[in-house]
Structure 1
């Protein structure tokens, strides 16, 4: 907390050539970023989106997902080839895009342009045993943190997170139920396109899974219910907050990782900007639990960090108005006009 800086920031925002509060959420974001960077003139530098990919053991049965597990690896190749929505939006907004193999059930060529942080070839099926060991979960944390440290060293101060993993909405629903104490039925959605019967079956399966375990803390919950990509994002969020970076939170899966991260260290929320309200069932309740205000509501439920990529230009606009918009004094606005606006 720096009350003097906060007062100066608010004064700078309020004395721009506009009515007080007229730029709405952009004013709130500008204030938050100024507080994160401890300056009245914050900057967005080399904004990046990191997409973590991992497979889930439960997907091999095909009971909670309409698409086969192999789609995860196929989409990683699509990311590398530039053919996915996240590639398009990253190019549109000049974002630095990184793809991470956190635990895909596929052996990628060494020369493929991805970050190899593979913990294992997919998690175990939590219908039968915990998704991963505590040691694997801790390693995922460290790998996620190392990736963020490298990005910071390369000049990034703003990072958005994305994910890819068939069945990872199931893991996210389980984590949501654990951290928010919400009934499973209110956490489970259609994922990649289940119909009503499929959603009902998914609810029944995940209810049984949830009742099977009794994790005692966030790390245990992640190891039992999580995916390698979710655990890695959790570690990445914690490291980004430690490094005082601006964190752009995407949709349902990334917010599940954040639920775990804030259970470990609540101060991470000070560094988070919420990109959008996903159309995946449960996400709005996650946001309500975190008292979060998302920037966008576009009916998205794709993942990949697409919401984060679309929101980053708004974050940039917040900083730009704070730094570049005239104040009443510099614009030479008369006191009479100023009073009418304020």
Structure 2
């Protein structure tokens, strides 16, 4: 990890991340025998070797994750974590924070982009409020609010240690609940005005890359506001100097991002494949991998966002996106769009004829 050595939180005697409190159970190893059986199955299908490209890899990896010959991924869930950001007060977004609450209601009505795409993929959309400013929480939204928005990290840490722990635990427990209901494919998504600023700051802390190379326009801000956004991130990182991924989350993160970190951790514990969305979803996944390297084996990259930090994070995770469509919406819209590719991968492996079916030898 590329973190600064001076750490105001360590100097205060706060040890974060040493005790693995997020483990409700151990992350199981992938089923290598099932992976090998899936690899042989794919090789036996009536097609040139490797001609289905990444669809073949999807099927093989799903077999290792689920431990099933033909992975049952009929039950899919999109979990949209919501939270507001104090740093929005610094003029880093094109939209007011009221939009977070309005979009939560839009999700409930089934009228957001992620609703449309999830319906096409036969996936359930779940909305959870970890930290929006909206009161009361609308009926139909899971109310797990830790606090009403984060603090302005340009002036002080966005969250306390306790608040981050609460938010991560929400995600872990929700993943366990969904896994217990038979969900095998999950897409963590988010909604929160100001969260691309938070995600870009986290990406800079994780990678050590220049803020200017990482920070994009998010909701479509002007050139002037983009310069302001980058300067806000630089100032915040200089102020806090986080010493590890968890401390970065405390200093410049968001409650919904912490919730997604928990979703990834819990999904791996429950043998669920987790499909990342864009920048914000992926920075949460990167933090989860810093906390538990085994999580990486359960991750899939759905698409390549137009946000510049996204490509850098995907390269860091060594994951190749399935779709390149220049999207930057969030909500798990890109992940939902990719869901049918997973269905296709399983269906092809299950239904295609083999060379043996045709009385032919398998290719060398």
Question: SS in structure 2 opposite 1:148?
Answer: helix
1:101–1:118 CA contact under 8 A, matched in 2? yes
Which of 98, 103, 118 matches 2:145?
118
Pair 1:321 & 2:338 matched: no
Query: How far, CA to CA, are the matches of 1:213 and 1:182 in structure 2?
Result: 17
Tell me the equivalent position of 1:268: 295
Which of 37, 51, 66 matches 2:80?
51
Tell me the equivalent position of 1:87: 115
Query: How far, CA to CA, are the matches of 1:3 and 1:228 in structure 2?
Result: 35
User: CA offsets, 1:140-197, max 9 Å, x none?
Assistant: 0111111111111222111011100001001100110111111111111001001222
1:60–1:68 CA contact under 8 A, matched in 2? no
Query: Deviation at 1:3?
Result: 4.8
User: CA offsets, 1:264-284, max 9 Å, x none?
Assistant: 011111001110000112111
Query: Deviation at 1:12?
Result: 0.9
1:52–1:162 CA contact under 8 A, matched in 2? yes
- Worse-superposed segment, 158-167 or 4-13: 4-13
Question: SS in structure 2 opposite 1:159?
Answer: strand
Query: How far, CA to CA, are the matches of 2:103 and 2:68 in structure 1?
Result: 40
TM-score by length of 2: 0.89
Pair 1:78 & 2:106 matched: yes
Tell me the equivalent position of 2:238: 211
TM-score by length of 1: 0.95
Which of 170, 192, 208 matches 2:197?
170
Tell me the equivalent position of 1:227: 254
Contiguous gaps of at least 5 residues in structure 2: 1-29
The 1:118/1:3 distance shift into structure 2, 3 A limit, reads closer
Which of 36, 53, 69 matches 2:65?
36
Tell me the equivalent position of 1:154: 181
Pair 1:9 & 2:38 matched: yes
Pair 1:100 & 2:128 matched: yes
Query: Deviation at 1:109?
Result: 4.6
Tell me the equivalent position of 1:334: 360
Let me know the Cα RMSD of the aligned residues. Answer: 1.4
Contiguous gaps of at least 5 residues in structure 1: none
The 1:142/1:82 distance shift into structure 2, 3 A limit, reads same
Query: How far, CA to CA, are the matches of 1:109 and 1:241 in structure 2?
Result: 29
1:190–1:281 CA contact under 8 A, matched in 2? no
Which of 297, 310, 315 matches 1:283?
310
Query: How far, CA to CA, are the matches of 2:354 and 2:232 in structure 1?
Result: 58
User: CA offsets, 1:51-79, max 9 Å, x none?
Assistant: 00100001134x11111111111111111
Question: SS in structure 1 opposite 2:48?
Answer: coil
Query: How far, CA to CA, are the matches of 1:180 and 1:12 in structure 2?
Result: 39
1:163–1:304 CA contact under 8 A, matched in 2? yes
Question: SS in structure 2 opposite 1:79?
Answer: helix
Pair 1:143 & 2:170 matched: yes
Query: How far, CA to CA, are the matches of 1:29 and 1:177 in structure 2?
Result: 30
Question: SS in structure 1 opposite 2:323?
Answer: coil
- Map 1:181-220 → 2, pairs under 5 A: 181-220=208-247
Tell me the equivalent position of 1:133: 160
- The number of aligned residues is 335
1:174–1:184 CA contact under 8 A, matched in 2? yes
Pair 1:254 & 2:308 matched: no
User: CA offsets, 1:268-327, max 9 Å, x none?
Assistant: 110011100001121111111111111101111000110010001101111111222111
2:34–2:68 CA contact under 8 A, matched in 1? yes
